[in-house]
Amino acid sequence: MIKKCLLGLTLVILVSLGYFHSVGSGMFGGSWSSESVTSGPRPAINRVEANTDAASQILFGDLHTHTNYSIDAAIFNTQLVKGLGRVTPADACDFARYCSALDFWSINDHAESLTPAAWADTVKSIRLCNAEAGDASNPDMVSFVGWEWSNSDRKDAPNHYGHKNVIFRSWEEGETPTRPIAAQGRTVWHKIPSVMIGLISMADSRDVVNDLGWYLNESGRVPVCDEELTADRLPESCREVAATPSTLYRKLDEWGLDSMVIPHGLAWGTTNPSKADFRDQLQGYQARYEKLIETYSGHGSSEIFEDFQRVGRSENGGLYCPEATENFTPCCQQAGSIVRSRCADSTSAACAAEVDNVVAKFLAKGVPAGRDIVPDTSLNDWAGCGQLENQFQPASMYVPRNSTQYALALGFDAAGNPKQTRFGLIGSSDNHVARPGNSYKETNRILYTDNKDVGRTPMFQRGADSESGGFYYTGGLVAVHSQGRHRDAIWNGLNRRQVYATSGDRILVWFDLLNGPEGAAPMGSEVVQEQSPRFKVSALGALAQRPGCPDSALAALGADRIESLCGGQCYSPGNRRKAITRIEIVRIRPQLTPDEKIAPLVESPWRIHECPEGASECTYQFEDEEFLSGERPSLYYARVIQEAEPLISGDPFGCVYDEAGACVERNYCVGEYATATENCLHIAEPRAWTSPIYLNVPNAAGDH
C-alpha cells in the first residue's frame, strides 16, 4: 500500500513537473504584439503649459520606459506579483498621451531580451504613436525609439559599465537600426528554469504564461551576431552585442544615425558593485554621445557624493570595519552595536571581545548574509545601516563613487589621463509597467512605482527580508528648454544640455550665467569666463493637481481604460501653484591632479537662498568672487526645493522621530507595513536639479 502511494505521488509530481515545464518553455505559447494606439492628438488646451516667453517653451518628458518586452517587466507584471498582465509599447503611448500628458517620451526595453519581432513591433508602435500626434510642426507629443544597454557585472567593479539608454532622433522607415545593440547575449532571466516560469500559471492566465514562456525561450535562442561584420551587413535575426561602451559607440558610428546614450542607475547598490567607481568608465566616455545623465528616477536619487565605505581594506589586504559617518553606518558597525546592547556589562572586556568576534564574522560573510550572524533581529534593529540617510529619496544600498556629483568632480580616468564629463542632468521614471511620466500624483504605489504587491506574493517583494523594497518612488521627469514642440526642437534642446531634472512635479526653472563673454548663457553651457561669474535662478512652483481626469482623456480612452491604464487618475492641473521654499547652489571644482581628493571639491550646498514664505515664484542672483583667484574650472547647478507634501516613500525609512528629531523607529515600506499603510506616504520636499553651467579659466591647468 505504501509503495503504491509513493508510486502515485511520484507520478503526480512527474506529471506536474512535465506540465509546468511545457507551459514555462512556451510549448503552447506564441508571439504577441501591441494593439493599435488610441487615436490622437491630445487637445491643445490639455497640453502641458509652456513658458510665457514665446521664443522658448519648457516641455516635460520621460526618457526611460519599459514594457513586457523587457523580461524582468514581463515576469513582475504577472498576477503572481503585480497583477498588471501584458503591457505593450502601445499602452505606453496611450498612457503618455492621455494619463500623464507628456510632451515627449522614449521607449527603452532591455536590448538583451528583445527579439527581432519585439523590436519590429516596438518601432511600429512608436511610428503609430507619432502618426497620431497631429501637425508634425506642432505635435501634442513626440515619441522617441530606443533601448537599454545593460552591462551588469556586479562581481567585477573595474569592468562594470552600468546601464545606459540609447535613444534615436528619427523613427521613420530606414532611419532606425535594424536591431538593438545589447551588452550581452544572454542574461540571468534566460537561465530561469522553465518549471519556475510554468509555476506562475498557478496564479495567472495560462495563455499569458504560455506566451511569457514562449517569449523567454525565443529571446534566449536569438543567436549572437558575427562580430567581424559591420552593422549594415548583419542579418536581422541575430543579437548584436557590444560588451563595452567603446564597442557600443563604434557600432552606433556604423549605423550613422543621430543618437544619444544616457547613463543611469548610477548609485543603486542593487545593480552596481559596492566598489563601483565612475572613474573606471571615463576611458570609454565620449561626450558626443553621453551628453545627459539620469540623476533621479523611480529607483531614487543618485545625485549626492558622500565619502564613506561599507568595508575597509588595510594595506596588507585584511578587512576592517570603517567608522560610521553622519549619514552612513556600515552594517558591520551596527552588528557590533546590537551585540553590545545585549551585554550585561557593555564596558567589560568580555563584551568587547564578543563585539570584535561578531564584527569579524560579519566582514567575512558580507551583506546581507552577515545579518544572520546576529540572531533574533528585526529590520528596525539594523537602524538603517548600509543605506544613505538624511538625504532626499536616495537610491538603495547607495554606491557613492558612482554618483552624479562624483562623476562631475572627476578630472582624470583610471589610467591618470585628463578626462572630464560634461553632463546635463535629467530625471526619468525607469518604470517597468509601460507608464511613462507616472509621477503626476502620489495615489497608487503599486501601479506608479516598481514596488511589488506583497499582498499577492511576499516572496517576490525584495523588502520582505530586506529594506530595499522601501526605496521605490514614483519617478522623475526631464524638462527641456525648447524652441518648439516638434521633434528637432526637443532633440536640439537635449543636445545643448539645456535641460533639468525634477522629482516628478512640473516645476518651471531657469538658470543662467548673466555675464558670459557673449552675454547670458543658459544651463548646460560651457564658457571660458574672464571675470567673476554672476548667475540668476528663477523658479515657479508646479500647478497643484485636481482629482480625476480631463474630459478629453475620458472621451479618448473610456472609463474602463482610464481605470485600468491610468489608475483612475490623470495629469489634471488646477490654477494654484505650489510654493518654492528655497534655492540651493552646488559648486564643484573638478580635479587638477589624479590623486586630488574628491570630497573637498564638492560643495553641496555652497549657497542657500530662502524664498519668501508661501511664494510660488522665487528668484536668486549670486556671484562667485573666488572663481578667478581659484585658477581652476568650476561648475554650478541649482537645486530648487518646493513645499513639503506627502510622497510615496517620501521617507524610505518610515521613521518615527523623538522630540530631538532623531529616528528612533523605522517602518520600511515592505511586508505588513506596506500593506497596512497602502501608499507609504511620508512628508518630503519635491525638487528640481538644473544642468550645470561649466566655467573654464583661460589657460588654467585643469582646462581639459
pLDDT digits (tens, 9 = 90+) for 448-461: 888 876 555 544 44
* 207: pLDDT strictly greater than 80: no
Q: Report the pLDDT averaged over residues 387-392.
A: 95
The residue among 600 and 204 whose pLDDT is bigger is 600
The residue among 364 and 616 whose pLDDT is bigger is 616
Confidence label for 50 from pLDDT (cuts 50, 70 and 90): low
Confidence label for 154 from pLDDT (cuts 50, 70 and 90): low
* 16: pLDDT strictly greater than 70: no
Size of the chain, expressed as the number of residues it contains: 704
Cα end-to-end distance, the chain, whole Å: 83
Tell me if the bond preceding 368 is cis, omega within 30° of 0.
Answer: yes
The fraction of the chain above a pLDDT of 70, given in percent, is 93
**Smallest Cα–Cα separation from 162: which of 310, 330, 293?**
293
* 649: pLDDT strictly greater than 80: yes
pLDDT in tens, 213-253: 889 889 999 999 998 888 878 888 999 999 999 999 999 99
- Of 70-84, 168-182, 419-433, 496-510, give the lowest mean pLDDT range: 70-84
pLDDT on residue 46: 67
Q: Report the pLDDT averaged over residues 635-644.
A: 98
pLDDT on residue 462: 40
pLDDT on residue 76: 87
Q: What angle do CA 325, 307, 620 make, to 5 degrees?
A: 100
pLDDT on residue 55: 65
pLDDT in tens, 23-46: 777 788 788 888 899 998 999 866
pLDDT in tens, 309-339: 998 888 887 889 999 999 999 999 999 999 9
Q: In whole angstroms, give the CA distance from residue 459 to residue 635.
A: 45
Q: Which helix (H) or strand (E) holds 75?
A: helix 71-76
pLDDT on residue 12: 63
Helices (H), 235-330: 245-255
* 276: pLDDT strictly greater than 50: yes
Q: Report the pLDDT averaged over residues 420-437.
A: 96
Q: In whole angstroms, give the CA distance from residue 400 to residue 268.
A: 9
Q: Report the pLDDT averaged over residues 607-624.
A: 98
* 262: pLDDT strictly greater than 50: yes
687 half-sphere exposure, CB direction, 13 A CA radius? 24
SS3 (DSSP) at 82: coil
Q: Report the pLDDT averaged over residues 62-72.
A: 96
pLDDT in tens, 536-568: 999 999 999 999 999 999 999 999 999 999 999
Q: Report the pLDDT averaged over residues 66-86.
A: 88
Q: Report the pLDDT averaged over residues 567-574.
A: 96
- Of 124-128, 212-216, 400-404, 487-491, give the lowest mean pLDDT range: 212-216
Q: In whole angstroms, give the CA distance from residue 589 to residue 694.
A: 10
SS3 (DSSP) at 428: coil
Q: Report the pLDDT averaged over residues 388-408.
A: 96
Q: Report the pLDDT averaged over residues 515-531.
A: 96
Q: Report the pLDDT averaged over residues 567-576.
A: 96
- Of 107-116, 452-461, 580-589, give the lowest mean pLDDT range: 452-461
pLDDT on residue 379: 85
Q: Report the pLDDT averaged over residues 647-665.
A: 91
pLDDT on residue 704: 42
**Residue 548 DSSP symbol:** S
Name the region of 324 (left: φ>0; alpha: ψ -120 to 50; beta: rest).
beta
SS3 (DSSP) at 584: strand
Q: In whole angstroms, give the CA distance from residue 642 to residue 639.
A: 10
**Smallest Cα–Cα separation from 538: which of 63, 56, 45?**
56
* 681: pLDDT strictly greater than 90: yes
Q: In whole angstroms, give the CA distance from residue 367 to residue 381.
A: 15
User: What rounded mean pLDDT belongs to the chain?
Assistant: 90
The residue among 126 and 198 whose pLDDT is bigger is 126
Tell me if the bond preceding 41 is cis, omega within 30° of 0.
Answer: yes
Q: Could you identify the residue written with the cell 495629469?
A: 571
pLDDT in tens, 281-314: 898 899 999 999 999 999 999 999 999 999 888 8
Q: What angle do CA 381, 446, 575 make, to 5 degrees?
A: 110
pLDDT on residue 446: 87
Helices and strands (H and E) in the chain: how many? 16, 30
The residue among 150 and 678 whose pLDDT is bigger is 150
The fraction of the chain above a pLDDT of 90, given in percent, is 69
pLDDT on residue 44: 82
pLDDT on residue 122: 97
List of domains in the chain = 44-185+222-306+396-439+474-494 (3.20.20.140), 312-382 (no CATH), 510-542+578-643+685-696 (2.60.40)
